Structure 1
Amino acid sequence: MAKDWNRRVFLRSSVAGAGATVALGSGGAHTASATPGASADAPREGGLRIDRTTVEYAETLLGTEVEHPRLTWELTAPGRGARQSAYRVRVALTEKDLHEGRRLVWDSGRVESDRSVGIAYAGPALRPRTRYHWQVRVWDGDGRPSAWSAPRWWETTLPTDGWQGFWIGAAALPEPPGFDAASWIWSPGSTTGSAPVGPRWFRTATTLPAGSEVRRARLVATADDDFTLYVDGQQVLYQPQQTDAWRTGHLAEVTEQVRGASGGRIVVAAVATNRDNGSANPGGLLLRLIVETTSGDTVELVTGDGWR
């Protein structure tokens, strides 16, 4: 991979023009002493300059699981024929230690190589949830060292067993009531494929057991084609005319209407309209009322026999 890239860079700019040049090599490497002499380390004018560094191809890396992050740097230099002949990478836990060259986590030492892309961290195993600061310097073809690059960092993620949180969110909504035990009703003489066009009125009633206290009351209903529904004389649902509206049940909370029913007698009434929709024109009303009492009992009213 490095050879292919270096060939492209060579064809473009191995002989540097008057402007800046990126110097990348073929990847040969030889490690020299990690502590070269002070005179050899002193940067001299006219050499390579490190313009940009990345870790795993990002300037800073937060929460990585990579065990050996790949370090990369980009170089510029004045004049012609500039090239990298060696590099040195160092890593520390604080930026201060990095600047001072003390308590380093890893120091590659001087490595004789023209590589500047994808240099893998080769120090001790990285600790979880830890920030590592790093920088690099290079030597050119004449052995002149560059200044150290600006410090950059990467940070490791939590260990596998370090996640102590748990998913939070709203509780799942309770399932709406269905049409259990309810039957489609319409005027006498109607069939599943044909029903008289126009409005039809429906009414029925049920009485709660004596002494019942209503905890909650819900009602679900639909019709083919549209309807308006009343409980104890108050409108609680309205379904306008729309295509296949009967496929959707409409839910209403009717606790207050049921509690206000005189003597516990709940009257439910509806007007439903069958529109002229062509040769196949069924009509119908489907309804279920569920009343829960404070004693734990349930009273239900469904469409079927007894409606008029």
Structure 2
Amino acid sequence: MKATINDVAKLAGVSIKTVSRVINNETSVRQLTREKVQQAVDELKYQPNLSARNLAGTKSYSIAYIYDNPNAYYIIDMQEGILSACKQQGFELLIHPCDSKSQGVTEEVVNMVKQARIAGLILTPPLSEMPEFVQSMVDLDVKVVRIMSGDVAPDDLSPCVMVNDRDAAQTITQHLIDLGHTNIAFIAGDAEHMSTIERYKGYRRALKASNIAFNKDLVIEGEYSFDSGVSGAKQLMVEQSNKHVRPTAIFSCNDEIAAGALFAARLMNISIPEQLSIVGFENSPFSRQTWPKLTTADQPNNQIAEDAANLLISQIRKQKNPITISQYVPKLIVRDSTAKC
């Protein structure tokens, strides 16, 4: 028979209310009592019914992850990181994809928050980078944590977890420069994502620091998709070849774009990395599923998401935290897709 909260209280020798406080991670419980209750929970394999707890009380123990992102690997990493924090802290997670370009997206999310009795929201780009949307969420009197590209929070609308794409992009571009490349192309991601802008700025900053002239013909507008990498690489290697400025290296705004660029190079019988070096960004499975494996920047999305969830839950519990909990700088990982020019 499934253990109940009464069973836990009896085994631990405490009241049901004390068990509830421990399960809810309230700070008003002595450490010795907390350990006794946790031991009883573990021994009985007790699992609280979080849905029933939400319905029975005035508090909500549910948070939501709201996203609009075509990258399945990114979404999976985010979900796993948030779920890890939720399981440790006794919260449920609602996952809600939406179309950030839709005129009705704000109303859609507002209705979801109200109907599901959500206590807090985690937002990722581009939704986290839309101030009017964020303000609408804050106006609902729910806690909000944003994951954003940059080195500092852009405002005080909500706490943020920042990812310093600019510094990481400068490092990965410098890696190509150190290998002797000067004709370095850039295939962008979606224009509405700050990560695209920040990575582009890092790319430009590295060129400037090494006194390499910027060539706008080597910058290709794109999307965070495999197909964008294919078309971008074809455009660079065919059109720019006709202009006698064929690149020897390509900075791709993420690994999916880089995988597409590598695929296109193969179709054009271009040897990687002997004739063309290609780098990605994020260290997603795409970077390890290609041949050769991609040089990239390691962005620990799982840990970023877990940090964001812990920050959100601490806000819900009215614990004090700084406006920005962390700043992540993705680290360069050198693999076989880059070589000396």
TM-score of Structure 1 vs Structure 2, range by shorter chain: under 0.3
TM-score (norm 1): 0.19
TM-score (norm 2): 0.17
Which structure shows the higher strand fraction? 1
Which structure shows the higher helix fraction? 2
Higher gyration radius (CA) = 1
